[in-house]
Amino acid sequence: MDPLTVIMPVKHYHLEYLWKAVGCVTGQSSSAWRLLIVVEESDVGAFQTLLQSVLDDARVELIANRGRRLAGAVNTGMRHAGGDFVALLLADDMWSRSAVDVLQCYRRAYPNVDFFHSSRVVIDGQDREISAVYKSRERFELKDFKRGSPVKHLLCWRKNKGVAVGGVDESIAVGPDDYDFPWTMAEGGAVFKAVAECLYYYRNHGDCYRCTTDLPLSVHRREVRRILKKHGIGMWERRRVIARLGRGVGGQCLYRSSIDKWIKEKLGHDSRRRWKQVEYR
């Protein structure tokens, strides 16, 4: 079986978390992986210097983003990958040490599956687990996506199927990877399989730029409306969905709107100091 290609987009980053993200791949219990680190073209030189010790490993490759935003970086990695399956690791998160081994076992056991998604847990800046394990959802229907994605990280999909549906939508600023893309794959007939094991450690923090915190609340709501509209949800239903989701849409945003962000930046206001860790149930 061919190695699993790990796509890691890097733009805004916290150095300690970046090294932990890279280290959780190079430290996998299985060696059947390739790591594609996707950065902006203008940053290639800087990352070649920063990551030189890792790039000495033939399984690790640094490439330039040929698309737009996070979605473009994922598409760049997907099209560059040599193997049949790719998986996404964000540069401030981590995988379990056995993630590659578990995914390869699932690939062998379920050869007809196009998209695997695992259970996950939230960690803080000190790697402490601050939530219960969110179990991956075994069964869902297309209509379930309008209430939020039933498919969450760890995301691992068949490369050719991802390319065939058009890749990750680069016009979407919020949720292109774990909301719109699985929805698009499901509409395209992809076969999904939940991975029961907790393979993904999602880091919630306020230590550097994140779409979750730094894009204004108005942008989050606008992008969710755009995703719903793209998938055929009517105007009145879109309004009801946004109302039901409430603070679940942009709940950690540091700014209410683009104007609010502009004013605070002009005044030198450090909005990041207002960020507080979520209390998970």
The pTM of this model reads 0.92
Does one domain contain both 185 and 231? no
What whole-number distance in Å separates Cα of residue 187 and Cα of residue 205?
Answer: 33
Judge contact between 188 and 165, C-beta under 8 A.
yes
Does one domain contain both 239 and 132? no
Of 170, 141, 162, nearest to 230 (Cα)?
170
- Domain of residue 132 covers 4-203
Give me the pLDDT at residue 230, please.
Answer: 95
**Is residue 166, in this structure, part of any structural domain at all?**
yes
**Is residue 279, in this structure, part of any structural domain at all?**
no
Does one domain contain both 164 and 191? yes
**Is residue 25, in this structure, part of any structural domain at all?**
yes
For residue 156, the domain's CATH number is: 3.90.550.10
Does one domain contain both 189 and 225? no
Does one domain contain both 218 and 191? no
Does one domain contain both 149 and 36? yes
**Is residue 167, in this structure, part of any structural domain at all?**
yes
**Is residue 133, in this structure, part of any structural domain at all?**
yes
- Residues of the chain whose pLDDT is less than 50? none
Angle at 99 between CA 40 and CA 21, to 5 degrees: 35
Give me the pLDDT at residue 249, please.
Answer: 62
Interval 132-167: pLDDT, tens? 999 999 999 999 998 889 999 999 999 999 999 999
Give me the pLDDT at residue 245, please.
Answer: 65
Does one domain contain both 198 and 216? no
Does one domain contain both 216 and 194? no
- Give the residues across from 163 on adjacent strands: none
Does one domain contain both 148 and 224? no
**Is residue 75, in this structure, part of any structural domain at all?**
yes
Give me the pLDDT at residue 156, please.
Answer: 98
Does one domain contain both 130 and 230? no
Does one domain contain both 75 and 194? yes
Does one domain contain both 235 and 122? no
Give me the pLDDT at residue 171, please.
Answer: 94
**Is residue 227, in this structure, part of any structural domain at all?**
yes
What whole-number distance in Å separates Cα of residue 27 and Cα of residue 44?
Answer: 24
Q: How many domains does the chain have?
A: 2
**Is residue 280, in this structure, part of any structural domain at all?**
no
